[in-house]
Chains A and B, each alone.
Chain A
Amino acid sequence: MKEDLRQFILSEFLPGEKPSNLRDDTPLRTSGVLDSVATLRLVSFIEERYGIEVQPHEASVENFDSIQSIVSFINGKKASAS
């Protein structure tokens, strides 16, 4: 999951970046790597790929500020759904 997210973020929002520069804890929202439109696109990707529905308030800076936090958010959603 981490690598899927990393790959998506790199190809969509950081074209040309070395994968090693996007770490699991690199700030995404607070740093400006992801703006609001980019976040919408990422949310769509996640909903489709992992079969979850993200509520508007859940696409928050806290949940989406790093690959790590996105992974725990998705896992939390999956656990509560099952």
Chain B
Amino acid sequence: MPALSGKLVSNCAMETEAFHLCAYLEASASRFPRRFAVFDPDGTALTYEELNQRANRVAGFLVSQGVRPGDRVALVVPKTTVAYTALFGIMKARAAYVPIDWTGPIERARSIITSCQTRVVFADPKLQGLNGAADVLVPLDAVAWDAILDCDPLEIEPAERRPDDLAYILYTSGSSGIPKGVMTTQSNATGYLDWCDDLFAASEQDRFGNHAPFHFAMSIVDMFLPIKHGGSVHLVPEELGKNPRELASFIANHRLTVWYSTPAILGLLAEFGNLSRVDCSSLRLVLFAGEAFPIKKLRQIMELWPAPAYYNLWGSTETNACTYKLIPKPIPADRAEPYPIGRSGSRCSTMVLNDDAQPVTPGEEGLLYISGPSVFKGYWGRETVFLERDGVKWHNTGDVVKEREGEGLVYVGRRDRMVKRRGFRIELGEVERGLYQHPSITEAAAIALPDSESGMRIIAYLVAPREPRPSIVEMKAFCNQHLPAFMNPDVFLFAEALPRTRSNKVDYQTLIRRSQAEEDQKVPRSAFGIGGGSSE
């Protein structure tokens, strides 16, 4: 980085290219070369200088493989400092990183790779079934990594970077059953981080836990905000992330100052983390998003961790978090319902419109629209409709909200078939598409019901006329092969036929009523049940 090797780096570089995530890294590498930037759970760490130099070599490797600005590069690898270095290398080559759940079904990974035509795929060496999906498949073992780090570094002139360069494409559940890619530019990402910074005032003393997987929009703040300030990122890999007891020790041992996860994970930490015996007093901020936090669980964690400030954040992959609510301390004793999604962040705006795209009267329900620098560029390969108003681009989140005086925006629900479960966004159509792949299944319908213990239960109604019909064990295992784990239904019910409306569509309302009635009759489930869930 010639422009960044001198002393006069930070101010001018930060001002002229603050729109690029790699500029954060380069400025911090120059200011704090010996500080640690990123940690693996075992304590292995890279300094800013190491991270920056290695990322330059990854970029050099990618260019040698024909990657050009605007290309896509997929990462189907466990969360490690290697993967983290690679994604900076991808962005330094002015390509977009496409993170894919390496623990999920390989068909899904393959369909994402072919959908956005990634030129290079970095894959876990154990994964089978990605051959031919992209021009270059790199099984990322130690030998391959060493070879990549022997490549000549790419020295890109910062002036060549554009705010509109794609930074990453995150794939999220699609209503047609096919995942859809949310294209986010460098200025979308940095614009989002700017408002987070206004609120959270990060510094080089901060140590951020990174719990969310890289393919989850929640990861953006903890992967990049500390880098802007010379703080550190502490990666929580998949298995550790699901284990509340080990997670609590991780937070204590790494002396984390900022924690961001779904309420489900915080609920598990409160219940199983032995928090009264683990010193997590270094935490100054606890952020949560992805679903409503049941007040009883929120109280529980706030009693165990009294010191930090707690924020509820709200948003979507398309906008990232854009509203927030600071949770009062202590929570008033008479508070029974979850805290609302609150007010818009400093650099974004919200409006609530009715179905005719006209403003509702305050207090009336309507659809939540978001504008601001973090609003995404569009869906990969699909027409994307934004609302234009007075020259401003607005994204319709599809979330139904209402304004409540003194509290800000309150989430009401959705009119489509998208649900949140354990913080993950699920289109029930995608669950059905997975079910239909089973050769015995002739009809499938998925519904979701709120559940006091696990938040949300997915119930699959199936028609399988041929005998013997598949067992529930078999369906569970089949879904595990064909759907991400968080989409696997909780209940499978077989029926002779599905109820239909007069226009011969599946009558979901009848199915929901039927399931609700059955749930209401049931005796409460085992006393061993736990609330929350985990982010998987």
Task: Show the binding face of A for B, using Cβ within 8 Å.
Answer: 8, 11-18, 21-22, 26-27, 31-33, 35-37, 40-41, 44-45, 48, 56-57, 59
Contact = CB atoms under 8 A, between A and B. Distances in A.
B272 A17 contact: no
Given A31-B476, A44-B272, 8 more contacts: A12-B526, A15-B491, A16-B492, A17-B472, A31-B480, A41-B528, A44-B530, A45-B528
A24 to B, nearest CB: 13
B153 interface: no
B520 to A, nearest CB: 15
A44 B528 contact: yes
Given A11-B526, A15-B491, A31 B243 contact: no
Given A15-B491, A16-B492, A37-B533, A48 B473 contact: no
B124 interface: no
Contact of A40 (B272, B473, B479, B491): B272
29 contacts: A8-B526, A11-B525, A12-B526, A13-B490, A14-B472, A14-B473, A15-B491, A16-B491, A21-B471, A21-B474, A26-B473, A31-B473, A31-B477, A31-B480, A32-B477, A32-B488, A33-B476, A36-B534, A37-B268, A37-B532, A37-B534, A37-B536, A40-B268, A41-B529, A41-B530, A44-B528, A48-B528, A56-B243, A57-B246
Interface string B515-536: 0000000000110111011101
A48 B491 CA distance: 26
Contact of A33 (B272, B422, B473, B536): B473
B242 interface: yes
Contacts of A26: 473
A16 B492 CA distance: 8
Interface in B482-503: 485, 488, 490-493
Given A16-B491, A17-B471, A40-B244, A32 B268 contact: no
B245 interface: yes
B127 to A, nearest CB: 16
A21 B529 contact: no
A35 B536 contact: yes
Given A21-B471, A21-B472, A33 B245 contact: no
Given A17-B472, A21-B473, A40-B272, A35 B485 contact: yes
B530 A40 contact: yes
Contacts of A32: 476-477, 479-481, 485, 488
